A = this chain, B = another copy of it.
């Protein structure tokens, strides 16, 4: 019954439909000149033979793979999982294939870039991962556009899409001040990442502008994920530790959750009654009943669509070497008031 169709090619279909091989190709190419009658005949023959066009051959000749490489770091942060999902959905909806790579948070994506280049992808999306100058120029030489997502690389002219990390953090800083906090801690993320850096900077700025002395802000390495942030808070403020401040800002939600749990279950403190907490990202988990975290919501969908748009536009034109956008694209984020840091204006 089944056609044992292991190697059905357009030639086989052509033979059965009594047309030329090129007509078969046309039948599977939208908008090519072919009579309806012939197309129908070809399609039927194809169905009978279980023919599926070999896109590898098509890629070779058209030099377009219709494939985007998605390089993801830090998969332990639900935010990037959400980003990954959104990218997959968006690219898939646009008819593109996605080659996904994960890189260890520490390691560089350069070896992955090599594999990506061999695969003739139409574009590269880089999320929460490092990249060297060398790699970017290799891609540029081949005309493969790269877009950085929520990360930029100083001194490398690569387009980046991100949200206003510094501005968002500053807003949160002011929110703490408005709520009456006078002593602070900030839980930092990846020391090499621009995202954490910018949020720290924004928060510091808010305090500095309000005349808060630098000594009123303690900076804690949070390790970017739940477990490490939990441990950092427990160890920093545990028995014989430092005095716990009024307000704690974690540069991402998952660390804020770790901090809250450590405060409650290890240190016996109440949030927000004893300590106020805010995060950044707007992951759904942080809005659940036990947390109801006040946070800055990143517009994932808009950011993803912007990113994909840049890639697709670039890939559309053959010899468009200079990416039209020279500087980063920065989208606004929006505060989501939860219970852990009340809206003083409300």
Chain A residues with CB under 8 Å of chain B are: 2-6, 50, 52-57, 59-60, 65, 67, 70, 75, 78, 81, 85, 88-89, 92, 97-102, 114-115, 117-120, 137-138, 140-143, 226, 230, 261-262, 264-266, 285, 288-290
Contacts and interface: CB of A to CB of B under 8 A. Distances in A.
A141 B2 contact: yes
Contacts of A285: 285
Contacts of A102: 85, 88-89, 92
A293 B118 CA distance: 45
Contacts of A143: 6
6 contacts: A5-B141, A53-B118, A56-B120, A81-B81, A100-B100, A264-B290
Contact of A5 (B3, B55, B142): B142
Contacts of A6: 141-143
A60 B63 CA distance: 13
B98 A55 contact: no
Nearest to A319: B6
A288 B53 CA distance: 49
A97 B99 contact: yes
B88 A55 contact: no
A75 B65 CA distance: 26
Contacts of A59: 56
A155 to B, nearest CB: 16
Nearest to A140: B2
B88 A100 contact: yes
A293 to B, nearest CB: 13
A60 B50 contact: no
Contacts of A70: 100
A226 B288 contact: yes
Nearest to A102: B88
B120 A55 contact: yes
Contacts of A53: 118
